Amino acid sequence: MDFEDVTGLHDHPAWRLLRADHAPLVLAFCGAVFVDENARGVPEAVLVSRLDDQLYDLNERRASTFPRPAAAYLTEWTANGWLRKYYPPGEDEAHFDATSALEKAVAWVRGLPARSFIGTESRLNTIVALLRQMAFGTETDPQARIDELSRERDAIDTQIAQLRAGEVDMLSPLALLDRYQQVETTAVELLRDFREVEANLRELDRRLRHDVATAEGGKGDLLATFLMD
């Protein structure tokens, strides 16, 4: 990214969140509800109640740092693109969900503190496995593929022989912790990606409905052009 690219991101909701006066409140509260608990579609009354409790506790410890009611903060966070407010079909009560911008900001802030344990083994294994798949998947020589599969078969046969002989190779506690961290990180990233894909689909649907409603020509041709883009 060059200077202009970075400058253009100043108005991105995630960047604005990091610069906001009450960023710690937004990141801590919404991170706990929507990331840690992976809550989706939280009813307004439930979210207001939980935020009220959070604000009361903070104001007791910090001398009325947050004077506004919980609903006012939720309205502001929604307007800033950090929360999505919507009404599910058949529901009269508004529901809230996190936006991908909020999740990106939460992930970045949570990655700042120093970690006492940094696992790399599982990630290196993943990279090596992906590189092998790429090499195998682009190999055009049938014999080379046969040789690679034969090596994999021999390795599996060796493991089976060791197990039959009573040799059970167990992962160490550090290796288990490394893999647990990798699973946890990947799961959080995957859920964040799902939210972003969902947001992109909603935007696509909004654009399509607008274009169809304002189109002067045939709607079939417009739909075909839209899908091709």
Q: Which of the four pLDDT bands, split at 50, 70 and 90, describes residue 35? A: confident
CB burial string 190-229: b at 16+ within 10 A, e below: ebbeebeeeeeeeeeeeeeeeeeeeeeeeeeebeeeeeee
Q: What is the pLDDT of residue 169?
A: 85
- Residues across the chain: 229
Q: What is the pLDDT of residue 115?
A: 67
Strand partners, 83: 98
Q: What percent of the chain has pLDDT over 70?
A: 88
Structure confidence by residue, pLDDT tens digits, 169-218: 888 888 888 888 788 778 777 877 877 787 777 777 777 777 766 666 65
Strand partners, 95: 43, 86
Structure confidence by residue, pLDDT tens digits, 58-95: 998 877 689 999 999 999 999 999 999 999 998 899 99
Tokens of 32: 């706990």
Tokens of 182: 């990798």
Over 90: is that where the pLDDT of 97 sits?
yes
In angstroms, the Cα distances linking 92 to 25, 45, 46, 89, 105 are 28, 12, 14, 9, 31
Q: Give dist(CA 147, CA 155) in Å, integer.
A: 12
Q: What is the pLDDT of residue 78?
A: 96
In angstroms, the Cα distances linking 178 to 17, 125, 162, 171 are 31, 11, 25, 10
Q: Give dist(CA 87, CA 97) in Å, integer.
A: 11
- What is the torsional sign of CA 87, 100, 52, 76? negative
pTM: 0.67
